[in-house]
Structure 1
């Protein structure tokens, strides 16, 4: 696999792994500064994508990074 396994973003990060069946699992993790259920701030999975196409996986990583533009519960300022 030539994909970057971990890519940081302003509001979280994106992970990419190749599964045993050859598919790529791309997940976008968002930093939630004020979780609904209370407790400490944490990263939560927010976006998921499965594909067998490495080009589509790479494009999805870029797309997820754009979606993770700021942490949840924080203003844009």
Structure 2
């Protein structure tokens, strides 16, 4: 299996990096059009998880993509 380092989603993107110990760091980044500090719109990390192997990494990436395609707290279907 191959883990894609960058996966695009409707509300942001997911990154995956394999660490030296074989685990994967998976991060879900959301687009924030109106940051609370009044700065420019930007992507911010919103979800992160360490996985033990490729299978868990793939499952986590899929879960994060689902969250980014249907942001938490919305009624979108």
Report the TM range for the smaller structure's normalisation: 0.7 to 0.9
- 1:37-52 maps to which residues of 2 (within 5 A)? 37-52=37-52
Q: Under a length normalisation based on structure 2, what TM-score does the superposition of the two structures give?
A: 0.85
Q: Tell me which stretches of 4 or more aligned residues in structure 1 moved more than 4 Å.
A: none
TM-score normalised over the length of structure 1: 0.85
Q: CA RMSD in A?
A: 1.7
Q: Give 1:52 deviation, angstroms.
A: 1.5
Corresponding pairs, count: 72
Structure 1 residue runs of 5 or longer lacking an equivalent are none
Task: Point out where structure 2 has 5 or more consecutive residues left out of the alignment.
Answer: none
The answer to whether residue 74 in structure 2 is matched with residue 69 in structure 1 is no
